[in-house]
Chain A
Amino acid sequence: MNRKLEDKLVDLAFGELTPEDAVRVEAATARDHQAAHLLSAYRDLKGDLKLLADIPEPQISTDRLRDAILSSGLQQAPKETPANSRRWLWMPAGACVLAFAAVMLRGQFAQSGEPHLVGLDSVASRVSLPEPQPFSAMTKSVDRIQAKIVATQTQAKQEPIVAATTRRQRRHHVRGYLASRMNNAADKSPSNETLVIKAPPIDGGAALNASNEYAMENKSDKTSSSGPIVLIADDKDAGTGTQLATEVQSASNVLVGG
């Protein structure tokens, strides 16, 4: 007998077939002796199971139940409130907020406490350097200024200087500063005083030749007692390719010639 027919017989015996299906299965059973025997066995089983429905009455009382509940440490049922039901959500939510705050503050501490490289853009924004002149204007300035060395001079209004941390930044910083200084010089402000000194090529300690190699435009004699002077040489640094620059505290020992 196949499994499907046996399942139909079980459903028929327990009264779980539709009337149409019941008629069809009954007809098939009538022709099959084995199926008929099985159907009879399942019908007896159904009847016997109903006999098991009679059982002895329970003797458990409410006092026994109350004692059992109290012995379990329960006084009353917990109240169902929206806050209670969602209370557990605060812990992971609070942990997320703390973690987020820690990440954000860590970034701020990193910015304020640790030394970091200053990019050119940030330098420019802090220093407020003027826009570099176009090349044509710069060449005109260079024509007027015969020497290449720019002497720094203290001014009433010092421009803030931000330390550059790489050679490229230092080079750009110097060029930018030079451009700003040349621009100021072009303004011809009486208060702007510049001293341009061309440094001799470095050849292992040769003394400065004051005869014909140097020219100085001295618009004021304040330079002799002025601040530090930066000497920019024609020679370039072998390592970086930039022009060599040296700083001297005063011009008193710098020989210049006409």
Chain B
Amino acid sequence: MEFDSDADLVIRAREGDFAAFETLFERHRTLVYRFAYQMTGRRDDAEDMVQEAFVRAYQNLHRYRDEAKFTTWLLRIVTNLCTDQARMSHRRTALEQQEAKGALDWMTIGMNDDPITNLEEDRRKEALRKALNALPPHHRTMIVLRDIEERDYPDISQILGCTIGGAKLRVLRARRALRDRIAPLLGEEMG
């Protein structure tokens, strides 16, 4: 089976081949969903974000340039969507934290027989999820892209439209901000 590159699929999709665009969707929807879930903390919101991101991608296929990877371009779209959504729904933070607490339950059940360890991991994850959701969108984006999704700095700089040095600096500031937020939740002394 011949493997079509993302660029080839984009060209075919521009010419009206919707099946080519569906292939792009199947290929990259998990990537977009993962990022959207980390940014929103809720599955339903993340799925809506994925749908909206691909609709926008389809509307703007003519603007895609081959210089950047298709995934980079796609993540830029979803980053902007998440930023807009976070700006409009900052009042839902408390609700999202509750949802995140519920979502963590199925993750920890059965993973470790030691209840104390599970409790400790749950506590840390819960604290981390709270701290992450409490971060401003621009800091949260850097943590998700670099430390959770493990994207490299050139990729991040293209997604955000900044220099590599600028991306490194943003990541550094985001990590410090996250550390400042999680320390009180864990009862740790500030450095």
Contacts and interface: CB of A to CB of B under 8 A. Distances in A.
20 contacts: A7-B172, A14-B175, A34-B191, A37-B189, A41-B183, A45-B175, A45-B182, A49-B148, A52-B38, A53-B148, A53-B149, A55-B37, A58-B29, A60-B47, A60-B51, A62-B25, A65-B22, A65-B51, A69-B55, A77-B15
B76 interface: no
Interface residues of B, number: 51
Nearest to B153: A16
Nearest to A45: B179
B128 A10 contact: no
B14 A79 contact: yes
Contacts, number: 118
Contacts of B147: 14, 46, 49-50
B132 A52 contact: yes
A76 B176 CA distance: 45
B125 A52 contact: yes
Contacts of A49: 128, 143, 147-148
A51 B125 contact: yes
B138 interface: no
Interface in A23-42: 34, 37-38, 41-42
A66 B15 CA distance: 17
B125 A80 contact: no
A14 B25 CA distance: 32
B58 A74 contact: yes
A217 interface: no
B50 A77 contact: no
Interface in A69-90: 69, 72, 74, 76-80, 84-85
B101 interface: no
A31 B33 CA distance: 45
Nearest to B50: A60
Contact of A64 (B13, B51, B59, B168): B51
A68 interface: yes
A16 B15 CA distance: 44
A48 interface: yes
Given A45-B182, A56-B103, A58-B29, A74 B59 contact: yes
A160 B153 CA distance: 87
A60 B124 CA distance: 30
A1 B189 CA distance: 14
